[in-house]
Structure 1
Amino acid sequence: MVTRLLMVVFTGVTALPHSVWDASAADLTLYGAWAEHIVHQNAFPLDDERWQYPPGAGALLVVPWLIGGGLGYNWLFFALVAAADAGVLSLLIRAARADGLRTAQAGPWIWTLGVALLGRVCYGRFDLIVAATAIAALLWSARRPAAAGVAAAAGVLLKLWPVVVVLGLRRRTLWRMSAAAACAGLVAMAGLTALGPGAWSFLEFQSKRGLQIESVAATPLLVARLMNGGWTIVHRYGAEELSGPAVSTVARGCVAVMIIGGAVLLITWWRVRPPATDLALAAVLLALAASRVLSPQYLVWAVGVAAVCALDPRTTQRPVLVLVLATALASQVEFPFLYDRVATGSGPGVVVLAVRNGLLLWATAWSLVRLWRDNFQPSRESPEVPITVVGAASSA
């Protein structure tokens, strides 16, 4: 089984044309420049508007630079991502074997196929590493809450979204994991802040982001632009954004949808008591669908959480997992294959965006519906059944 999985991963990251690979790995030049700046200037790139990541990302991007002394940065970065990919696959395989149920065997396959369907962009960005921290936190949460908390804290310091892994937890697991995450996070934050100025400059740049053309909310405006114009596409903050009528209103609407969605998830946690991984998947999908910014590599977040969902025999999300994989495939068509059409807002680009974002909306809505339909219990208490993971010490 391992050989077959590795063959699929290898195919997904090596079979594309060289020019497509260049597009998928274009950000590595920027990563290398940031790493050099951090190493030599002892400061984060606080004057670069493209720096929109928590300070942990700076520490991560420096690792390949330090290992190679500034040489072979791209290949060392690929090796780092490959190690994270292999680590996730190993965790999922061990968990599936420990469970022993046939349904759990889908977990490693969801991850493997999802990465292959997303394509080389998974190796040309660091989001796969962030997904690895969230997957580890979910798998360890019940039996190793301290380790899970550290993994979650690491993910939050790379990109904020792994905080969703605590959403569905209850009782002592929630408190112990949260305490470990808070302690590890505070220590790491202090160290990263002391590393140099600009550690938190990303907050300013992130808050100024507009409506990226790849976001779900931008799709109706792109369709309207094809019919009667009125909108332009501008390059800002390292991405293509829409400018024109109602764009600011739509962007503010994304924030409102995120807040309302968060309230819905909180009510779901309180009233429905779904499995933690199911709620985490719904939260990730909602975050992607409601975001003003939706880069293709973000879909690996959903792929990772979906793989953990597939391990749980109680999951309600199995039909949603298929939609996640379909969305991943559509994302690879959108980037890099048709991105030249997407970036200019031409017809083929808008069509592929409409398909990808339609699939994402479908997956998000279906995920929430299944949470309520298949989990609702009048009782306010429900047992917390952990995912079985080999080598996890019992500490419940």
Structure 2
Amino acid sequence: MTGSSGTRPAAFAVWALSRALLLLWVSKVIVPPGLDVTSDVSVIYHGWYDVLRSGTYPQSDVTWQYPPVAALAILSPALLPFLDYATAFYVLAFLCDALVMGLLLRASSGAGRRQAGVWVWVAGVPLLGTTAYARYDVMVTAVAVAALLAGLRRPRVLGALAAFGALLKVWPALLLAGTARGRQTRLAWATAAGVAAGLLVLCAAAAPGSLAFLGFQRDRGTEVESLGALYFHVARQFGWEGRVELHYGSLEFLGPHVGLVSTLALGLSLAAFGWLLVWRLRARAFGPSTPADAAFTAVLLFTTTSRVISPQYMLWLVGLAAVCLVLRESRMGWPAVLVVVATGVTQLEFPIGFVHVVTSDATGVTLMFLRNGLLVAASVLAAVRLWRDTVRAPEAEPGAREAGAAPALSRGGPADTPASVR
């Protein structure tokens, strides 16, 4: 998967062709199989757009479960007033996709870099199907990719973009998990805190209801595609008396034992946070790929253990995996492959086979065990590799750690929860 500069035109050609098809699909020039996933943009997002333009957040709508800066993504089609709302949104999603592609191509051309990450992005996005452009997650992923790549040299930029991304959709806060101890961490974290505080004040002053999303997130249950939902998919085969209903913006299991399973999922997420904290305290060898590897691992852990795993979450993982594989020193190759495969399976279960998932028939259960099993395997493998590379690896010299570099011996190479509406 190392590639060469000669593969760049081929990667761009495949990217351009696949994205042209995506635009045709979301515009309904070509009708894809499965459910129509574009109604979220034309109906739900457009409805929020009208509310936000009136000067308030959708504080009475339980499906609004996003941090306050997400309003910018919902309002962004106003930048293209000559297009209708949905078309403008798809064009902006495409432009964010193009931005990520450009950033990865540029990053892959330096010393100690490789083309594999470019191909992860080229392949991963279309594997998700029309969902990739029918949600604003591609915009958030573009911010995250820019943050990690800029952070290789500019920790303040990493901190600022991570804070902005976190107030778009929370999870980019995890981009700060792997910054090297010392000056880089101080600069990145202090900048992030300052930018986040400033943005929160601005949002609160701009419109009422900026923090209403917190209560709606708290009350969510176990969504049908989550890891915990596997219990209910199996239990339905043995007479479980629950049901599936639209609840807080997604289809969730409701009935006996749902509260317990949701609590256990939160416990798993807390355990993941605990492991991440222990790793942070014990890590010693911080190389150029450590921030990306740690961010990828952290987001994998929290996505896999979440009460909700919406299809668009896979875009986050594809984007972070692409950044890891641009860096030759990263050893996240196999976790990245598992994520790309899981992304393809995700399109099979949503939207193509979603009726099977909702009814928990044999096809639906098989797809959910396969997709979630791939995520569990990727999470465990990524965590093990991150631990081995940074905790068990020989310690770098103090000066190298301060600069965020690692000697060749440290890795055997050259020195490198939130929920969403359907």
The residue that corresponds to 2:349 in the other structure is: 334
Look up the equivalent residue of 1:92 and give its one-letter code. L
The residue that corresponds to 2:405 in the other structure is: 385
Contact 1:117/1:328, CA 8 A, preserved across alignment: yes
User: For 1:223 and 1:21, how far apart are their aligned partners in 2?
Assistant: 24
Structure 1: gaps of 5 or more residues: 387-396
Deviation at 1:309, TM superposition (A): 0.5
Contact 1:32/1:65, CA 8 A, preserved across alignment: no
Look up the equivalent residue of 1:57 and give its one-letter code. A
Contact 1:142/1:173, CA 8 A, preserved across alignment: no
Match of 1:48 among 61, 66, 80: 61
Match of 1:140 among 141, 150, 155: 150
The residue that corresponds to 2:4 in the other structure is: none
The residue that corresponds to 2:107 in the other structure is: 95
The residue that corresponds to 1:311 in the other structure is: 326
Q: Give 1:59-138 correspondences, 5 Å limit.
A: 59-65=72-78, 67-68=80-81, 72-99=84-111, 101=113, 104-138=114-148
User: For 2:240 and 2:225, how far apart are their aligned partners in 1?
Assistant: 18
- Stretches of 4+ aligned residues off by more than 6 angstroms: none
Contact 1:56/1:157, CA 8 A, preserved across alignment: yes
User: For 2:389 and 2:163, how far apart are their aligned partners in 1?
Assistant: 31
User: For 2:111 and 2:59, how far apart are their aligned partners in 1?
Assistant: 47
RMSD: 2.0
Deviation at 1:252, TM superposition (A): 0.8
Distance 1:22 1:224, change over 3 A: closer
SS at match of 1:294: coil
The residue that corresponds to 1:390 in the other structure is: none
Look up the equivalent residue of 1:320 and give its one-letter code. P
Look up the equivalent residue of 2:98 and give its one-letter code. A
User: For 1:109 and 1:99, how far apart are their aligned partners in 2?
Assistant: 18
Deviation at 1:13, TM superposition (A): 5.1
SS at match of 1:323: helix
Deviation at 1:3, TM superposition (A): 2.4
1:248 aligns with 2:240: no
The residue that corresponds to 1:37 in the other structure is: 51
The residue that corresponds to 1:389 in the other structure is: none
The residue that corresponds to 1:201 in the other structure is: 212
SS at match of 1:120: helix
Give the structure with the higher percent helix. 1
Q: Please give the per-residue CA displacement for 1:236-255, whole angstroms capped at 9, x wherever unaligned.
A: 11111112222111111111
Q: How many residues align?
A: 382
User: For 2:269 and 2:304, how far apart are their aligned partners in 1?
Assistant: 9
The residue that corresponds to 1:213 in the other structure is: 224
The residue that corresponds to 1:392 in the other structure is: none
Deviation at 1:19, TM superposition (A): 5.5
SS at match of 2:211: coil
The residue that corresponds to 1:234 in the other structure is: 245
User: For 1:320 and 1:197, how far apart are their aligned partners in 2?
Assistant: 42
Q: Please give the per-residue CA displacement for 1:251-301, whole angstroms capped at 9, x wherever unaligned.
A: 111111111111111222232446121111111110111100110000101
1:191 aligns with 2:202: yes
The residue that corresponds to 2:413 in the other structure is: none
User: For 2:90 and 2:126, how far apart are their aligned partners in 1?
Assistant: 15
User: For 1:342 and 1:13, how far apart are their aligned partners in 2?
Assistant: 27
Contact 1:50/1:205, CA 8 A, preserved across alignment: yes
Match of 2:379 among 360, 364, 372: 364
Distance 1:153 1:44, change over 3 A: same
Match of 1:25 among 38, 42, 60: 38
Deviation at 1:7, TM superposition (A): 2.0
Contact 2:232/2:240, CA 8 A, preserved across alignment: no
Look up the equivalent residue of 1:37 and give its one-letter code. V
User: For 1:149 and 1:374, how far apart are their aligned partners in 2?
Assistant: 24
Q: Please give the per-residue CA displacement for 1:7-45, whole angstroms capped at 9, x wherever unaligned.
A: 2333455468525487221211110110111112x1111
User: For 1:378 and 1:113, how far apart are their aligned partners in 2?
Assistant: 35
Deviation at 1:146, TM superposition (A): 2.4
Query: Which moves more between the two structures, 26-35 or 144-153?
Result: 144-153
User: For 1:340 and 1:4, how far apart are their aligned partners in 2?
Assistant: 31
Contact 2:25/2:130, CA 8 A, preserved across alignment: no
Contact 2:37/2:351, CA 8 A, preserved across alignment: yes
Look up the equivalent residue of 1:120 and give its one-letter code. T
Distance 1:329 1:130, change over 3 A: same
Match of 1:297 among 277, 294, 312: 312
SS at match of 1:326: helix
Distance 1:93 1:19, change over 3 A: closer
Q: Give 1:139-178 correspondences, 5 Å limit.
A: 139-170=149-180, 171-178=182-189
SS at match of 2:115: helix
Structure 2: gaps of 5 or more residues: 1-8, 407-422
Contact 1:212/1:294, CA 8 A, preserved across alignment: yes
Deviation at 1:125, TM superposition (A): 0.1
1:280 aligns with 2:295: yes
SS at match of 2:109: helix
Distance 1:22 1:234, change over 3 A: closer
SS at match of 2:202: helix
Deviation at 1:49, TM superposition (A): 0.6
Identical columns (%): 34
Contact 1:226/1:347, CA 8 A, preserved across alignment: no
